[in-house]
Amino acid sequence: MSSQDMQFADPEWRPPEEREENANSRDQKTSPPRPINANRYEQPQGQIVSPPQEGYLGQGYAGSQPQTTWSGPSRPTPRRQGSPWRWIILAFIIIALMSGAFSRGFSGGGGPSPQPSFGGQSQSFTFQGASTIVINAGAGDINIHAGGSGNSVIIQETTDGGPFGNPRNAIVTPTLNGNTINVNEDQGGNSDTSFDVTVPTNEDLQLTTTDGSIQVDGVNGQMTLQSNNGNINANNDVLTGSSTLSSQNGDVTFSGSIDPGSYKFQSNSGSVNVTLPSTSNFQVNATANSGSINSDFSSVKITGTQANGTVGNPSAAKQAQLTLTSDSGDINLNKAS
Protein backbone atom coordinates (compact mmCIF):
# COMPACT_ATOMS: atom_id res chain seq x y z
CA MET A 1 0.00 0.00 0.00
CA SER A 2 1.27 3.41 -0.94
CA SER A 3 1.98 6.14 1.62
CA GLN A 4 -0.88 8.19 0.18
CA ASP A 5 -3.34 5.37 0.74
CA MET A 6 -2.07 4.70 4.23
CA GLN A 7 -2.76 8.30 5.24
CA PHE A 8 -6.50 7.79 4.93
CA ALA A 9 -6.62 4.21 6.06
CA ASP A 10 -8.26 3.04 9.29
CA PRO A 11 -5.84 3.09 12.21
CA GLU A 12 -6.33 -0.60 12.73
CA TRP A 13 -4.95 -1.21 9.25
CA ARG A 14 -1.82 0.86 9.85
CA PRO A 15 1.45 -0.87 10.43
CA PRO A 16 2.14 -1.82 14.06
CA GLU A 17 5.07 0.63 14.31
CA GLU A 18 2.85 3.67 13.58
CA ARG A 19 0.10 2.54 15.94
CA GLU A 20 2.60 2.20 18.81
CA GLU A 21 4.11 5.62 18.09
CA ASN A 22 0.70 7.37 18.14
CA ALA A 23 -0.27 5.67 21.38
CA ASN A 24 2.88 6.95 23.11
CA SER A 25 2.25 10.51 21.98
CA ARG A 26 -1.30 10.43 23.35
CA ASP A 27 -0.09 9.13 26.70
CA GLN A 28 2.37 12.00 27.00
CA LYS A 29 -0.29 14.64 26.34
CA THR A 30 -2.73 13.29 28.88
CA SER A 31 -2.19 14.68 32.42
CA PRO A 32 -3.07 12.59 35.45
CA PRO A 33 -6.45 13.36 36.99
CA ARG A 34 -6.52 15.56 40.10
CA PRO A 35 -7.75 13.90 43.31
CA ILE A 36 -11.30 14.93 44.16
CA ASN A 37 -10.80 15.57 47.91
CA ALA A 38 -7.29 16.95 47.70
CA ASN A 39 -6.49 20.11 49.62
CA ARG A 40 -5.48 22.75 47.15
CA TYR A 41 -3.17 24.35 49.72
CA GLU A 42 -1.21 21.12 50.09
CA GLN A 43 -0.63 20.64 46.38
CA PRO A 44 2.02 22.65 44.58
CA GLN A 45 0.33 25.40 42.58
CA GLY A 46 3.45 26.85 41.05
CA GLN A 47 7.08 27.25 41.58
CA ILE A 48 9.38 29.88 42.98
CA VAL A 49 11.44 31.50 40.30
CA SER A 50 14.52 33.43 41.28
CA PRO A 51 16.23 35.41 38.53
CA PRO A 52 19.97 35.24 38.40
CA GLN A 53 21.83 37.63 40.67
CA GLU A 54 24.29 40.08 39.37
CA GLY A 55 27.65 40.58 41.00
CA TYR A 56 28.62 43.29 43.42
CA LEU A 57 30.25 46.22 41.65
CA GLY A 58 31.70 48.36 44.44
CA GLN A 59 29.73 51.44 45.48
CA GLY A 60 26.38 50.02 44.45
CA TYR A 61 24.67 47.19 42.74
CA ALA A 62 24.87 47.15 38.98
CA GLY A 63 21.42 45.73 38.58
CA SER A 64 18.24 45.44 40.54
CA GLN A 65 18.11 43.51 43.78
CA PRO A 66 17.30 39.84 43.44
CA GLN A 67 13.59 39.24 43.80
CA THR A 68 11.64 36.11 44.45
CA THR A 69 8.40 35.72 42.53
CA TRP A 70 5.56 33.25 42.83
CA SER A 71 4.55 31.94 39.47
CA GLY A 72 1.51 30.04 40.67
CA PRO A 73 -1.97 31.32 41.51
CA SER A 74 -2.32 33.71 44.47
CA ARG A 75 -3.43 32.30 47.79
CA PRO A 76 -6.32 33.93 49.64
CA THR A 77 -5.34 36.02 52.65
CA PRO A 78 -6.80 34.64 55.91
CA ARG A 79 -9.38 36.96 57.45
CA ARG A 80 -8.27 38.42 60.78
CA GLN A 81 -10.82 38.52 63.55
CA GLY A 82 -11.16 41.73 65.57
CA SER A 83 -9.82 41.63 69.14
CA PRO A 84 -12.51 42.06 71.86
CA TRP A 85 -10.18 44.26 73.92
CA ARG A 86 -10.63 47.27 71.68
CA TRP A 87 -14.39 47.11 72.26
CA ILE A 88 -13.88 46.82 76.02
CA ILE A 89 -11.55 49.84 76.00
CA LEU A 90 -14.03 51.80 73.89
CA ALA A 91 -16.83 50.99 76.36
CA PHE A 92 -14.71 52.27 79.28
CA ILE A 93 -13.99 55.49 77.43
CA ILE A 94 -17.69 56.07 76.78
CA ILE A 95 -18.57 55.39 80.44
CA ALA A 96 -15.83 57.78 81.62
CA LEU A 97 -17.12 60.54 79.35
CA MET A 98 -20.68 60.06 80.55
CA SER A 99 -19.56 60.05 84.19
CA GLY A 100 -17.66 63.29 83.65
CA ALA A 101 -20.77 64.92 82.22
CA PHE A 102 -22.84 63.85 85.22
CA SER A 103 -20.31 64.99 87.81
CA ARG A 104 -20.47 68.67 86.99
CA GLY A 105 -21.16 70.98 89.85
CA PHE A 106 -24.69 71.80 90.90
CA SER A 107 -25.41 74.79 93.07
CA GLY A 108 -28.56 75.59 94.98
CA GLY A 109 -29.83 78.16 97.42
CA GLY A 110 -28.06 80.94 95.60
CA GLY A 111 -24.56 79.76 96.52
CA PRO A 112 -21.93 78.02 94.38
CA SER A 113 -20.59 74.63 95.38
CA PRO A 114 -17.00 74.63 96.65
CA GLN A 115 -16.48 71.21 95.01
CA PRO A 116 -18.23 71.46 91.63
CA SER A 117 -16.57 68.31 90.36
CA PHE A 118 -18.57 66.26 92.88
CA GLY A 119 -21.81 68.18 92.84
CA GLY A 120 -23.37 69.82 95.87
CA GLN A 121 -25.37 72.71 97.19
CA SER A 122 -25.29 75.27 99.95
CA GLN A 123 -28.38 76.62 101.69
CA SER A 124 -28.78 79.19 104.44
CA PHE A 125 -31.58 79.56 107.02
CA THR A 126 -32.24 82.25 109.61
CA PHE A 127 -34.37 81.78 112.72
CA GLN A 128 -35.75 84.14 115.32
CA GLY A 129 -34.89 81.84 118.24
CA ALA A 130 -33.11 78.59 118.99
CA SER A 131 -33.34 75.87 116.37
CA THR A 132 -32.87 72.11 116.05
CA ILE A 133 -31.10 70.27 113.24
CA VAL A 134 -32.13 66.72 112.33
CA ILE A 135 -29.93 64.94 109.77
CA ASN A 136 -30.32 61.34 108.60
CA ALA A 137 -27.40 60.49 106.32
CA GLY A 138 -26.43 57.34 104.46
CA ALA A 139 -22.73 56.63 104.05
CA GLY A 140 -21.56 60.22 104.30
CA ASP A 141 -19.96 62.12 107.18
CA ILE A 142 -21.62 64.83 109.25
CA ASN A 143 -19.55 67.78 110.45
CA ILE A 144 -21.14 70.38 112.77
CA HIS A 145 -19.23 73.42 113.99
CA ALA A 146 -20.19 76.67 115.69
CA GLY A 147 -19.49 79.97 114.01
CA GLY A 148 -22.70 81.14 112.42
CA SER A 149 -23.61 84.79 112.60
CA GLY A 150 -26.71 85.46 114.71
CA ASN A 151 -29.23 82.63 114.37
CA SER A 152 -28.25 81.57 110.86
CA VAL A 153 -27.62 77.97 109.85
CA ILE A 154 -25.64 77.12 106.71
CA ILE A 155 -25.82 73.60 105.32
CA GLN A 156 -23.24 72.60 102.74
CA GLU A 157 -23.65 69.30 100.94
CA THR A 158 -20.98 67.52 98.94
CA THR A 159 -21.70 64.41 96.96
CA ASP A 160 -19.51 61.82 95.28
CA GLY A 161 -21.59 60.20 92.55
CA GLY A 162 -19.00 57.54 91.73
CA PRO A 163 -18.24 56.30 88.20
CA PHE A 164 -21.79 55.08 87.57
CA GLY A 165 -23.91 57.45 89.63
CA ASN A 166 -25.45 60.83 89.03
CA PRO A 167 -24.50 63.08 91.98
CA ARG A 168 -27.71 65.06 91.55
CA ASN A 169 -29.68 62.00 92.64
CA ALA A 170 -28.37 62.41 96.20
CA ILE A 171 -28.82 66.17 96.55
CA VAL A 172 -31.06 66.73 99.57
CA THR A 173 -33.46 69.61 99.98
CA PRO A 174 -33.93 70.44 103.68
CA THR A 175 -37.45 70.89 104.96
CA LEU A 176 -38.59 73.22 107.73
CA ASN A 177 -41.02 72.46 110.53
CA GLY A 178 -41.15 75.51 112.71
CA ASN A 179 -37.60 76.01 113.98
CA THR A 180 -36.52 72.46 113.10
CA ILE A 181 -34.50 71.70 109.97
CA ASN A 182 -34.92 68.17 108.64
CA VAL A 183 -32.39 66.73 106.19
CA ASN A 184 -33.10 63.18 105.00
CA GLU A 185 -30.78 61.74 102.39
CA ASP A 186 -32.47 59.74 99.64
CA GLN A 187 -31.18 56.21 100.21
CA GLY A 188 -32.05 55.34 96.61
CA GLY A 189 -29.31 57.63 95.27
CA ASN A 190 -26.21 55.91 93.97
CA SER A 191 -23.80 58.16 95.89
CA ASP A 192 -22.70 59.32 99.33
CA THR A 193 -23.61 62.76 100.64
CA SER A 194 -21.60 64.46 103.37
CA PHE A 195 -22.86 67.45 105.34
CA ASP A 196 -20.86 70.38 106.68
CA VAL A 197 -23.10 72.56 108.84
CA THR A 198 -22.32 75.90 110.45
CA VAL A 199 -24.59 76.67 113.40
CA PRO A 200 -24.93 79.19 116.24
CA THR A 201 -23.28 78.31 119.54
CA ASN A 202 -26.57 77.13 121.08
CA GLU A 203 -28.08 74.39 118.93
CA ASP A 204 -29.85 71.09 119.55
CA LEU A 205 -28.68 68.24 117.31
CA GLN A 206 -30.15 64.92 116.21
CA LEU A 207 -27.64 63.34 113.84
CA THR A 208 -27.67 59.82 112.39
CA THR A 209 -25.40 58.26 109.77
CA THR A 210 -25.16 54.68 108.53
CA ASP A 211 -21.52 54.34 107.47
CA GLY A 212 -20.05 57.74 108.17
CA SER A 213 -18.51 59.60 111.11
CA ILE A 214 -19.91 62.49 113.15
CA GLN A 215 -17.88 65.49 114.31
CA VAL A 216 -19.30 68.26 116.54
CA ASP A 217 -17.15 71.20 117.65
CA GLY A 218 -18.00 74.11 119.97
CA VAL A 219 -21.75 73.53 120.28
CA ASN A 220 -23.92 73.83 123.42
CA GLY A 221 -27.11 71.85 123.43
CA GLN A 222 -28.96 68.60 123.74
CA MET A 223 -27.47 66.04 121.35
CA THR A 224 -28.30 62.63 119.96
CA LEU A 225 -25.37 61.44 117.84
CA GLN A 226 -25.57 57.94 116.35
CA SER A 227 -23.46 56.04 113.80
CA ASN A 228 -23.53 52.38 112.75
CA ASN A 229 -20.02 52.11 111.30
CA GLY A 230 -18.21 55.32 112.15
CA ASN A 231 -16.55 57.27 114.93
CA ILE A 232 -18.20 59.99 116.99
CA ASN A 233 -16.11 62.94 118.14
CA ALA A 234 -17.47 65.86 120.16
CA ASN A 235 -14.91 68.48 121.26
CA ASN A 236 -15.30 71.68 123.29
CA ASP A 237 -19.02 71.07 123.61
CA VAL A 238 -21.51 71.54 126.47
CA LEU A 239 -24.11 68.80 126.84
CA THR A 240 -27.52 69.69 128.24
CA GLY A 241 -30.76 67.89 128.99
CA SER A 242 -30.68 64.24 127.98
CA SER A 243 -27.96 63.38 125.42
CA THR A 244 -26.70 60.15 123.84
CA LEU A 245 -23.50 59.51 121.88
CA SER A 246 -23.54 56.00 120.42
CA SER A 247 -21.69 53.95 117.78
CA GLN A 248 -22.10 50.31 116.81
CA ASN A 249 -18.64 49.85 115.26
CA GLY A 250 -16.61 52.90 116.15
CA ASP A 251 -15.06 54.90 118.96
CA VAL A 252 -17.00 57.46 120.98
CA THR A 253 -15.00 60.47 122.20
CA PHE A 254 -16.30 63.44 124.17
CA SER A 255 -14.34 66.38 125.56
CA GLY A 256 -16.21 69.24 127.20
CA SER A 257 -18.55 69.91 130.07
CA ILE A 258 -21.97 68.70 131.15
CA ASP A 259 -24.94 70.41 132.74
CA PRO A 260 -27.20 68.55 135.14
CA GLY A 261 -28.91 65.90 133.06
CA SER A 262 -28.70 62.30 131.88
CA TYR A 263 -25.90 61.31 129.47
CA LYS A 264 -25.04 58.02 127.74
CA PHE A 265 -21.76 57.23 126.00
CA GLN A 266 -21.72 53.76 124.46
CA SER A 267 -20.05 51.64 121.79
CA ASN A 268 -20.46 47.98 120.86
CA SER A 269 -17.11 47.47 119.09
CA GLY A 270 -15.03 50.47 120.08
CA SER A 271 -13.64 52.43 122.98
CA VAL A 272 -15.42 55.10 125.01
CA ASN A 273 -13.36 58.16 126.00
CA VAL A 274 -14.90 60.93 128.14
CA THR A 275 -12.92 63.95 129.36
CA LEU A 276 -14.54 66.32 131.90
CA PRO A 277 -13.37 69.26 134.01
CA SER A 278 -12.09 68.50 137.50
CA THR A 279 -14.87 70.66 138.97
CA SER A 280 -17.65 68.56 137.48
CA ASN A 281 -20.48 67.09 139.57
CA PHE A 282 -21.73 63.73 138.40
CA GLN A 283 -22.46 60.14 139.25
CA VAL A 284 -21.05 57.48 136.94
CA ASN A 285 -21.82 53.87 136.14
CA ALA A 286 -19.49 52.14 133.69
CA THR A 287 -19.45 48.63 132.17
CA ALA A 288 -16.76 47.15 129.92
CA ASN A 289 -17.57 43.56 129.01
CA SER A 290 -14.34 42.75 127.15
CA GLY A 291 -12.12 45.71 127.95
CA SER A 292 -10.58 47.63 130.81
CA ILE A 293 -11.85 50.66 132.75
CA ASN A 294 -9.59 53.57 133.65
CA SER A 295 -10.47 56.72 135.62
CA ASP A 296 -8.58 59.87 136.61
CA PHE A 297 -11.18 60.59 139.32
CA SER A 298 -10.14 58.86 142.54
CA SER A 299 -13.69 58.65 143.86
CA VAL A 300 -14.66 56.26 141.06
CA LYS A 301 -14.26 52.67 142.24
CA ILE A 302 -13.36 50.05 139.64
CA THR A 303 -14.16 46.40 140.23
CA GLY A 304 -13.43 44.09 137.32
CA THR A 305 -15.69 45.06 134.46
CA GLN A 306 -17.71 47.54 136.54
CA ALA A 307 -17.06 51.03 137.86
CA ASN A 308 -19.20 53.52 139.78
CA GLY A 309 -18.85 56.54 142.00
CA THR A 310 -19.71 60.14 142.69
CA VAL A 311 -17.49 62.98 141.54
CA GLY A 312 -17.66 66.51 142.93
CA ASN A 313 -20.01 67.72 145.64
CA PRO A 314 -22.35 64.87 146.58
CA SER A 315 -24.70 67.32 148.34
CA ALA A 316 -25.25 69.33 145.20
CA ALA A 317 -28.89 69.88 144.41
CA LYS A 318 -28.52 68.43 140.92
CA GLN A 319 -25.90 66.12 139.57
CA ALA A 320 -25.37 64.76 136.11
CA GLN A 321 -25.89 61.03 135.57
CA LEU A 322 -23.29 59.35 133.34
CA THR A 323 -23.61 55.89 131.82
CA LEU A 324 -20.54 54.54 130.01
CA THR A 325 -20.77 51.21 128.15
CA SER A 326 -18.49 49.27 125.81
CA ASP A 327 -18.92 45.63 124.81
CA SER A 328 -15.49 45.02 123.26
CA GLY A 329 -13.44 48.12 124.01
CA ASP A 330 -11.89 50.13 126.82
CA ILE A 331 -13.54 52.87 128.87
CA ASN A 332 -11.46 55.90 129.81
CA LEU A 333 -12.81 58.59 132.13
CA ASN A 334 -10.30 61.41 131.97
CA LYS A 335 -9.84 64.65 133.91
CA ALA A 336 -9.24 67.72 131.79
CA SER A 337 -5.87 69.35 132.46
Count Cα atoms within 13 angstroms, Cβ side, for 73.
7
Mean pLDDT of 266-294: 95
- Within-domain flag for 14: no
- Residue where one domain finishes, among candidates 212, 228, 255: 212
Same domain, yes or no, for 203 and 235? Answer: no
Same domain, yes or no, for 160 and 261? Answer: no
Q: Return the percentage of the chain with pLDDT > 90, whole number.
A: 45
Domain count, the chain: 2
Quick: pLDDT tens for 8-55.
Answer: 455 454 555 555 555 555 544 445 555 555 444 444 444 444 444 444
- Residue where one domain finishes, among candidates 166, 195, 212: 212
Amino acid 185: pLDDT: 78
Amino acid 115: pLDDT: 33
Same domain, yes or no, for 133 and 154? Answer: yes
Same domain, yes or no, for 233 and 180? Answer: no
Quick: pLDDT tens for 69-89.
Answer: 444 555 555 555 556 777 888
Percent helix, strand, coil in the chain, to 5, is 15, 40, 45
Which of 242, 239, 244 has the alpha carbon at shortest distance from 264? 244
Q: Give the confidence band of 117 by pLDDT, cuts at 50, 70, 90.
A: very low
Amino acid 74: pLDDT: 54
Same domain, yes or no, for 137 and 161? Answer: yes
Q: Is it the case that residue 125 has pLDDT exceeding 80? A: yes
Same domain, yes or no, for 205 and 241? Answer: no
Quick: pLDDT tens for 186-230.
Answer: 544 445 789 999 999 999 999 999 889 999 999 999 999 999 999
Mean pLDDT of 160-186: 71
Amino acid 79: pLDDT: 57
* Mean residue pLDDT across the chain: 76
Same domain, yes or no, for 126 and 149? Answer: yes
Q: Between these two residues, 79 and 126, which has the higher pLDDT value?
A: 126
Say how far apart CA 270 and CA 129 lie, in whole Å. Answer: 37
- Within-domain flag for 277: yes
Q: Is it the case that residue 253 has pLDDT exceeding 80? A: yes
Amino acid 301: pLDDT: 96
Quick: pLDDT tens for 99-108.
Answer: 544 433 333 3
Worst-scoring range by mean pLDDT, 30-44, 114-128, 223-237, 250-264?
Answer: 30-44
Q: Is it the case that residue 270 has pLDDT exceeding 70? A: yes
Same domain, yes or no, for 112 and 132? Answer: yes
How far lies 258's CA from each of 8, 206, 223, 277, in Å?
141, 17, 12, 9
Same domain, yes or no, for 225 and 332? Answer: yes
Same domain, yes or no, for 267 and 204? Answer: no
Q: Between these two residues, 244 and 318, which has the higher pLDDT value?
A: 244
Mean pLDDT of 112-139: 72
Task: Tell me if residue 11 falls in helix, strand or coil.
Answer: helix
Q: Which domain holds residue 283?
A: 216-337
- Residue where one domain finishes, among candidates 212, 235, 252: 212
Same domain, yes or no, for 234 and 315? Answer: yes
- Within-domain flag for 260: yes
Say how far apart CA 27 and CA 295 lie, in whole Å. Answer: 119
- Within-domain flag for 278: yes
Same domain, yes or no, for 321 and 300? Answer: yes
* Other Cβ atoms closer than 10 A to 260: 14
- Within-domain flag for 96: no
Q: Between these two residues, 114 and 191, which has the higher pLDDT value?
A: 191
Count Cα atoms within 13 angstroms, Cβ side, for 238.
10
Q: Between these two residues, 322 and 24, which has the higher pLDDT value?
A: 322
